[in-house]
Structure 1
């Protein structure tokens, strides 16, 4: 089992649990990026919001569809987790890291990177947002 399996697990948790705060540093192709893992839904919504705030806002509806698809996929994965084996197929394994990077000015940039492109990574923080209800499981 590779170290990327641990990253894949962290990504799956970030995608499934709102209020989970997982900060990482990723090395990929000689580049380093640090930030917080976010769900695919939040990543897609961030892109949609960027399009909507620009002068091409009329095209935002096509990005809304991608956000909706990500939300449906998330709901299906949650249903599969609750059903458990052998009642359902396992949740889909994440293929991408979705990351929010916040610079010193407070501006946020979102990243999408194939997990397979990550050469190394570190877990910098792992916990729950104290202002968000924590799951019981």
Structure 2
């Protein structure tokens, strides 16, 4: 009887140690940036075969390293996008927002917007520029 009681007690102590959560107050939403806005284009594209790709990237040595990306299929422009970016994703703060409109797999419009990371909310509307074929 004593073995069963001790093994049960040891099991409960071990289980309670596994179920405790660590509270970390150092991570705060105030250190993050919420970037949002509208993506639009002059003109009409049928939403049946279209796709919009938008991503945020940090600029490192003239290269754009993707930090976050989104894809929207079969949508009618304008559309709203939103990113929540942490300081780690932003690197030194120099970033770009890239957006492309694809129609049947071909890029028909795109744009690139400069962005500098700052904590808080910031609205950045994007107007896609048509690519002339």
TM-score of the aligned structures, taking structure 2 as reference length? 0.23
Which structure is higher in RCO with an 8 Å CA cutoff and minimum separation 6?
1
TM-score of the aligned structures, taking structure 1 as reference length? 0.23
Larger Rg: 2
Higher helix share: 1
